[in-house]
Copies of this chain bind each other. A is one copy, B any other.
Amino acid sequence: MINTHYQTLPDNYLFAAIARKVREFEAGHPGQPVIRMGIGDVTRPLAPAVVEAMREAAAEMGCAETFRGYDDAQGYPFLKEAVAAHYARLGAAAAPDEILISDGAKSDAGNLLDIFSPDCVALIPDPVYPVYVDTNRMDGRAVRFMDATPDNGFLPMPDASAQADIIYLCSPNNPTGAAYNRDQLAAWVAYARERGAVILFDAAYEAFAGEAGIPRSIYEIEGARECAIEVGSLSKMAGFTGVRCGWTLVPPELVRDGVSLRQMWLRRQNTKFNGVSYITQRGAAAALSPEGLAQCRENIDYYRENARLIAGTMDALGIAYTGGRNSPYIWLECPGGDSWAFFDRLLERAQVVGTPGAGFGQNGEGFFRLSSFGTHENTRKAMRRFRELGAGG
């Protein structure tokens, strides 16, 4: 009667395990406040333009003349147009009606799998955001891993011998902070087109991609519209982790087995989803307005300053790492090797919480993720303690 594939899932979700360890430490050490650089949650408040737009929208909902019920179009035109304008700024043409608004990238990345057969094969980097793997396993779908290691700069490239129907690419990457350049993404697009595979491109961290030659959307690559679905999010770009808004773009050119995947996704969402709060959508549109973008940019720059501080500390200690430049994450080689042991040591000796690489897959062992989403003060304090521990951790 039950979906038995759930029994193949690992017992504990990574961040739940971390939260439990931190709770236990705090209970045992009441005088030692812990600095959280683990989970990828933002801390800066919402931009004033966003708050104002949401407050106004809430007031509109309180008046009969301006009240809004169901949004039966999977997103209001004002927000779809704002997202389309975002793509236009990146040099990636997108029509508003290709964009379906959602409550965030995590929902969409999971729910998108509904439109694929459980018999296809998912190609997923290792290490990886665990939900890509778990959502496929929940459907009983076969998962093949591609190695992301220091040898390839944590950026696996196509392997002609690998089987793949659905290819997960996240760039800038969570957890490694590595980011594909234009030529690398073009190679993936060529590979997917040749195979008839579909790329699921997770662009959640695009706002951190600042260097020239690092695409912020897969659609900056020619030919991507025939082979790629992109999931976008306001979580990092505008601090919406607690507001919940994102989108998925499925170009009409994307046809498999003679069927438009855009039509399938629209059908999925019309049947199992009822849209996003009008208030949230007004906030999201404000975040993508010129005023909102400038305010959100200040927050991104704030986190970038933290990332520079962390990277500088690693440089000073001679610890190898990736990320921190086009990404809020610093992915470092674990002093001592064992990532959960390093987690425990860092928590106990420095009261700093990071994320053990082992939680992101086999190839994550030996690595550790630090996030730049804290305050300057906490980041500085954590890095001071890190230095005191020394390169040996």
- Known contacts A41-B70, A271-B13, A242 near B106 by CB under 8 Å: no
Contact, CB under 8 Å: B44 / A259: no
Q: Is A110 an interface residue (CB 8 A)?
A: yes
Q: Please report which residues of chain A, range 84-133, place their CB below 8 angstroms from some CB of chain B when the two chains form the complex.
A: 103-104, 106-107, 110-111, 114-118, 120, 131
Contact of A117 among B3, B267, B276 (CB under 8 A): B3
Chain B residues with CB under 8 Å of A46's CB are 58, 61-62, 67
Contact, CB under 8 Å: A131 / B271: yes
Contact, CB under 8 Å: B39 / A64: no
A9 to B42, CA, bound (A): 41
CB closest residue in chain B, given A283: B58
Q: Please report which residues of chain A, range 36-81, place their CB below 8 angstroms from some CB of chain B when the two chains form the complex.
A: 39, 41-48, 50-51, 54-55, 58-59, 61-64, 67-72
- Known contacts A2-B257, A3-B117, A272-B111, A45 near B70 by CB under 8 Å: no
Chain B residues with CB under 8 Å of A118's CB are 3
Chain B residues with CB under 8 Å of A256's CB are 1-2
Chain B residues with CB under 8 Å of A116's CB are 1-3
Q: Is A244 an interface residue (CB 8 A)?
A: yes
A373 to B283, CA, bound (A): 28
Each complex incorporates copies of this chain amounting to 2
A272 to B112, CA, bound (A): 10
User: Chain A contact residues (Cβ within 8 angstroms of B): what range?
Assistant: 35 or more
A268 to B3, CA, bound (A): 11
Interface of A toward B, CB cutoff 8 Å: 1-4, 6-7, 9, 13, 15-16, 19, 39, 41-48, 50-51, 54-55, 58-59, 61-64, 67-72, 103-104, 106-107, 110-111, 114-118, 120, 131, 134-135, 138, 165, 196, 198, 239, 241-244, 256-257, 259, 261, 264, 267-268, 270-280, 283
Question: Nearest Cβ distance between residue A17 and chain B, in whole angstroms?
Answer: 12
Question: Nearest Cβ distance between residue A135 and chain B, in whole angstroms?
Answer: 6
A274 to B70, CA, bound (A): 21
